[in-house]
Amino acid sequence: MSVPGIIPIRHEPDYRTSTIGRWQGGQFFASVTAAFPEGWSGDDWQSQKRWCAVLHRFDGAGRHLDSRIRFTGTTADGEKKAIDAARLLLAEWLNALPERQYQDIAIAPFEVRLEGALFGLVVEEDVDEADEEDEEDDGVWAEFHPDGLGFNAPWNGSYDT
């Protein structure tokens, strides 16, 4: 089964998708997350782990409109301080969305890069599994970066972490 053009994402209060939903202008996916630069080698991870507030906005059909991403600090600078700053900023952004309602969404894959970090819902393929005959899990999925949420068949909005 191939990746659908529009991927459902289930709203789960008090969990990883608690801040997704709809607003007057369409849909949104918001989170506080940590991002590493692409190609990061694993050295000095505390200074490479950058915390940020993220707000992706989509039209009613799920097409990406824009993204607000702001880094608030690294783990090396103080993880709690960076996370708290990101949460405050995200709350401000969410409060500014007219007619905001938290609920399930359905969006198209997209990619945004900022300061060497990948953000977005990206179609991924495991080349080793691509030759298998299993139609439900053909080694293709969609990964929400950098949040680490994986979506796959049966494409019902559930995700793996």
Structure confidence at residue 88 (pLDDT): 98
CB 121 within 8 A of CB 105: no
Taking the complete model, does pTM exceed 0.85, yes or no? Answer: yes
Centre a 10 Å sphere on the Cβ of residue 119 and count the other Cβ atoms it contains.
22
In the chain, which residues have pLDDT < 50? 129-131, 133-134
Structure confidence at residue 2 (pLDDT): 86
Nearest Cα to Cα of residue 52 among 106, 118, 142: 118
